[in-house]
C-alpha cells in the first residue's frame, strides 16, 4: 500500500474560485496533482465559515446596492427632473447613474481609501445591462429594472449554493472537511507574523494538523499579498509550507 | 403516490359473439381519501399552532384565511385539478403515475422564473437582506430537483410494473416504488412545511389586518421577535440541508448543473466583489 505523501489545507480563495466555476488553471493543476498522487485536500472549520460568510456578505452587498443606492438615486433624479417615476427608463436615467457612480468614485478618491471600490464592478454590470435593454427597444421601468437585477443575483446565488453544498457541505467533490482543535498559541504565533484575522486560524489549522497527525501539510492559497509574501517566515517559524496551488504538490514531494 | 394500493378487476366482455376476459389494473386509496381542503387545513393548523401569533390576529381565523386562499387557488386551477382528479379515478390507462408527475414537473419548471421574480419583488419591498430571500430560491431549486428525481423513479418502477406478467408482481413493483420514493416525499413535505411556516411567520407579523395578509406593503424585520424568528429560520435551514443531502443520495448529479451563460455578467460582478476584503463591502454605498 502506497503511503500518502501528505495533504493540502485549502484557503478560502481556492474554494470560492471553485464554487464560482472559474476554472482557474492553477486550481485545475492542484486537483489533477491531488488525484494523481492521492493527496487529500482538506477544508478547516474556519475556511468553511469564511467561505459561507463571504458568499452571504457579497449577496447582501449587491442586493443593498441595487435597492438602497441605485433605485433611490434613480427615483430622486427623476423627481428632480420632474419625470413620472413609472415612465420607462431612458438615456437620461443612464446619465443619472453616471452621476451617481462618478460621485462615488470621487468620494472614494478623496477619502484616500486604498481599497478598490466595489461600486465600479457594479457600475459596469448595471450600465451594460440597462443599455442592452434600451438597445433592444425594451420599455423597462425602474421597478422592473431592479427586479431583473435582483433576479439575476438570486439565480446566480442559487447555483453557487449548489456548488457550495456539493463541494463543502456534502463533501462530494475533491475536498473533505477536517476539524482541528486550534491552539490559541499557534494562532497568536501566526498573527505575530503579520497574518491576521481568519487567515491566522486557517494557517494554524494546517499547523496543528501537521503536528497532530505527523502528516506533511501544505497550506494552499492564491493570496500573495497577505500570505504567500510571508511564506518563508511562516515556514521558518511554524514549519508549515504556504504555497500557490501550481506548486503545492512539489512542496510535499 | 404513496397512499395507493393496486387492485385488479377481472370482467367478462362479449365481442363479436365471443367472450373475452378483460383485466383492468387500477389504484385505490388505502385510507379514507383526504380532500385538498383537509390537507391544506391540516398544514396550516400545524404551522399556526407552532408559531407565535400577533395579538391582532386569531389563530383559527388565520388557519381559515390561508386555507381558503389555497383552496380557491386550487379550485380556480382547472388544469391542475383535472390532473389530480384523473389520478384519483379508478380506471387506468397508460402510465398514470408518470403522467401526473410529469404534469407537475412541467408546471413547476414553467413557473420557476415567476417564483424567482416574486422573491426579488419581495426583497425590494422589505428590509431583509437578500440572502434571506436566497433561501427560498434554494427551496424552489431543490423542489425542482426533487421532481426530476421523482420522475426518474416513477418512470422506472411504473415501467417494471407494467411489464409484470402477474398481478402479484405488478403489486410488488408498485410497493417497491412506494418504498423507494416515500422517504423523499416525506422529507420534501417536511421541508415545504418549514418553508411555508417561515414565510407565514414573516407575513403575519407584517400584516396589520386580515386583508393585508395576501400582500403586506412592506416586510420589516424589526417587526419580528428575534429569538422566535431564529428558531423558525434554523429549523428551516436544517430541514433544507437534510432534504438536499437526501436528494444527493438519490442522484449524485443533483447539484451539478451547467452554468447558465446568461449568468456570465452577474457571475463576473459577484466574482469581483467576493475577492475583495470584507471591509471593502462595508464602504458606505
For residue range B24-46, what is the model confidence (pLDDT) as tens digits? 666 656 665 568 888 899 999 99
**CA A75 distance to own-chain centroid:** 32
What distance in Å separates the CA atoms of residue B170 and residue B276, rounded to the nearest whole number? Answer: 60
* Alpha-carbon gap, residue A50 to B260, rounded angstroms: 26
> CA-to-CA distance for B237 and B229, rounded, in angstroms?
12
Check if the beta carbon of residue A91 is closer than 8 Å to that of residue A134: yes
Cα radius of gyration (chain B): 23
Q: Are strands A7-10 and A40-43 parallel, antiparallel or unpaired?
A: parallel
- Count CB-CB contacts under 10 A for residue A236: 9
Instruction: Report how far residue B205's alpha carbon sits from residue B151's, in angstroms, rounded to the nearest whole number.
Output: 38
Q: Residue A128: its chain B contacts at CB < 8 A? A: 265
- Does the distance separating the beta carbons of A122 and B269 come in below 8 Å? yes
Contacts of B138 in chain A (CB under 8 A): 158, 161
**Distance (Å) from the C-alpha of residue A130 to the closest C-alpha of chain B?**
12
**Residue A171 region, left (φ>0) first, then alpha (ψ -120 to 50), else beta?**
left
pLDDT in tens, A26-59: 999 999 999 999 999 999 999 999 999 999 999 9
A212 touches chain B (CB under 8 A): no
Do residue B272 and residue A163 have CB atoms under 8 angstroms apart?
no
The answer to pTM > 0.80 is yes
ipTM over 0.85: yes
**What count of CB pairs under 8 Å joins A to B?**
160
The chain B residue lying nearest A144, using CA atoms, is: B121
Give bridge partners of residue B21 from the DSSP assignment. Answer: B12
Q: Which residue has the cell 428551516?
A: B236
Contacts of A119 in chain B (CB under 8 A): 283, 285
Interface test with B, best of A97, A108, A161 (most B CBs within 10 A): A161
- A60-73 per-residue burial string, b: 16 or more CB within 10 A, e: under 16: bbbbbbbbebbbeb
CA-nearest residue of chain A to B274? Answer: A58
The verdict on A162 touching B (C-beta cutoff 8 Å) is yes
H helices within chain A, ranges in order? 12-19, 25-36, 45-64, 72-81, 91-111, 118-135, 142-164, 184-192, 197-213, 231-238, 248-252
> CB-based contact (8 Å) between A226 and chain B?
no
pLDDT in tens, chain A (253 residues): 456 889 999 999 999 999 998 888 999 999 999 999 999 999 999 999 999 999 999 999 999 999 998 999 999 999 999 999 999 999 999 999 998 888 877 777 776 665 556 778 888 899 999 999 999 988 999 999 999 999 999 999 999 999 999 999 999 999 999 999 999 999 999 999 999 889 999 999 999 999 998 899 999 999 998 899 999 999 999 999 999 999 999 999 8
What's phi and psi for B271, nearest 5 deg?
-65, -40
Which chain B residues are within 8 Å of A165, Cβ to Cβ? 241, 244, 248, 255
Q: Which of A30, A5, A53 is nearest to A173 (CA)?
A: A30
Strand partners, A220: A10, A243
Amino acid at each position: 500500500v502506497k503511503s500518502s505523501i501528505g495533504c493540502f489545507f485549502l484557503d478560502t480563495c481556492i474554494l470560492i474560485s471553485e464554487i464560482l466555476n472559474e476554472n482557474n488553471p492553477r486550481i485545475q493543476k492542484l486537483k489533477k496533482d491531488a488525484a494523481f498522487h492521492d493527496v487529500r485536500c482538506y477544508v478547516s472549520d474556519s475556511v468553511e465559515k469564511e467561505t459561507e460568510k463571504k458568499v452571504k456578505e457579497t449577496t447582501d452587498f449587491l442586493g443593498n446596492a441595487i435597492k438602497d443606492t441605485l433605485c433611490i438615486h434613480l427615483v430622486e433624479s427623476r423627481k428632480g427632473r420632474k419625470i413620472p417615476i413609472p415612465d420607462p427608463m431612458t438615456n437620461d436615467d443612464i446619465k443619472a447613474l453616471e452621476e451617481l457612480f462618478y460621485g462615488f468614485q470621487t468620494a472614494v478618491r478623496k477619502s484616500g481609501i486604498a481599497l478598490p471600490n466595489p461600486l465600479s464592478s457594479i457600475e459596469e454590470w448595471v450600465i451594460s445591462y440597462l443599455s442592452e435593454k434600451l438597445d433592444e427597444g425594451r420599455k423597462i421601468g425602474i421597478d422592473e429594472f431592479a427586479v431583473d437585477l435582483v433576479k439575476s443575483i438570486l439565480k446566480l446565488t442559487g447555483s453557487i449554493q449548489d456548488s457550495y453544498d456539493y463541494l463543502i457541505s456534502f463533501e462530494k467533490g475533491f475536498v473533505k472537511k477536517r476539524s482541528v482543535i486550534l491552539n490559541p498559541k499557534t494562532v497568536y504565533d501566526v498573527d505575530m507574523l503579520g497574518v491576521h484575522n481568519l487567515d491566522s486560524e486557517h494557517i494554524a489549522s494546517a499547523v496543528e494538523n501537521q503536528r497532530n497527525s505527523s502528516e506533511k501539510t501544505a497550506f494552499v492559497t492564491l493570496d500573495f499579498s497577505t500570505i504567500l509574501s510571508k511564506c518563508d517566515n511562516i515556514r521558518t517559524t511554524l514549519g508549515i509550507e504556504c504555497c500557490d496551488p501550481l506548486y503545492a504538490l512539489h512542496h510535499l514531494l | 403516490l404513496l397512499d395507493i394500493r393496486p387492485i385488479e378487476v377481472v370482467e367478462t366482455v362479449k365481442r363479436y359473439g365471443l367472450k373475452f376476459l378483460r383485466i383492468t389494473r387500477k389504484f385505490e386509496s388505502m385510507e379514507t381519501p383526504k380532500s385538498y381542503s383537509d390537507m391544506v387545513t391540516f398544514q396550516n393548523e400545524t404551522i399556526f399552532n407552532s408559531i407565535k401569533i400577533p395579538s391582532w390576529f386569531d389563530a383559527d381565523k388565520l388557519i381559515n384565511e390561508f386555507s381558503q386562499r389555497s383552496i380557491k387557488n386550487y379550485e380556480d386551477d382547472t388544469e391542475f385539478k383535472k390532473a389530480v382528479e384523473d389520478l384519483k379515478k379508478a380506471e387506468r390507462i397508460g402510465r398514470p403515475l408518470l403522467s401526473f408527475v410529469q404534469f407537475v414537473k412541467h408546471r413547476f419548471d414553467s413557473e420557476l422564473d415567476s417564483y424567482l421574480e416574486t422573491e426579488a419583488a419581495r426583497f425590494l419591498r422589505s428590509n431583509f437582506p437578500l440572502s434571506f430571500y436566497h433561501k427560498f430560491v434554494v427551496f424552489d431549486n431543490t423542489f425542482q430537483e426533487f421532481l426530476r428525481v421523482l420522475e426518474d423513479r416513477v418512470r422506472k418502477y411504473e415501467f417494471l410494473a407494467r411489464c409484470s406478467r402477474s398481478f402479484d408482481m405488478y403489486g410488488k413493483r408498485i410497493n417497491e416504488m412506494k418504498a423507494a420514493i416515500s422517504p423523499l416525499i416525506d422529507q420534501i413535505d417536511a421541508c415545504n412545511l418549514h418553508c411555508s411556516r417561515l414565510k407565514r411567520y414573516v407575513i403575519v407579523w407584517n400584516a396589520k389586518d386580515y386583508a393585508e395578509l395576501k400582500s403586506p406593503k412592506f416586510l420589516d424585520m424589526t417587526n419580528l421577535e428575534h429569538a422566535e424568528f431564529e428558531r423558525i429560520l434554523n429549523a428551516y435551514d436544517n430541514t433544507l440541508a437534510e432534504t438536499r443531502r437526501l436528494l444527493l443520495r438519490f442522484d449524485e448529479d443533483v447539484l451539478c448543473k451547467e452554468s447558465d451563460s446568461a449568468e456570465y455578467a452577474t457571475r463576473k460582478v459577484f466574482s469581483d466583489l467576493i475577492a475583495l476584503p470584507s471591509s471593502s463591502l462595508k464602504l458606505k454605498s
